[in-house]
Amino acid sequence: MDTIAVAVHFWSKGEAKAMFLRHEGFLGVLGAFMHELRKESRCGLTVDEAAQQFQISVSHAAD
């Protein structure tokens, strides 16, 4: 990450500063969902069986 920070500083002529955030490894809801699918598949369920447990109903507000 230091290389990226140095490059940003150089190419912006010191006007921009690179900042990095540490995260939990889940990039939003999709990452958490995929994590759960992997965890379920290690418990003997197939990915399809695990996905069926997480059925999400979508409601349309415009209806």
Whether the predicted pLDDT of 38 surpasses 50: yes
Q: Would you place residue 13 in the very low, low, confident or very high pLDDT band (cuts 50, 70, 90)?
A: very high
Which value, in Å, is the radius of gyration of the alpha carbons in the chain? 20
Whether the predicted pLDDT of 42 surpasses 70: no
- Selected residue with higher pLDDT from 3 and 54: 3
pTM of the model: 0.35
Helix and strand element counts for the chain (H, E): 3, 0
Whether the predicted pLDDT of 12 surpasses 90: yes
Gap between the Cα atoms of 17 and 48, Å rounded: 44
Quote the pLDDT of residue 10.
Answer: 92
Average pLDDT over residues 19-46: 71
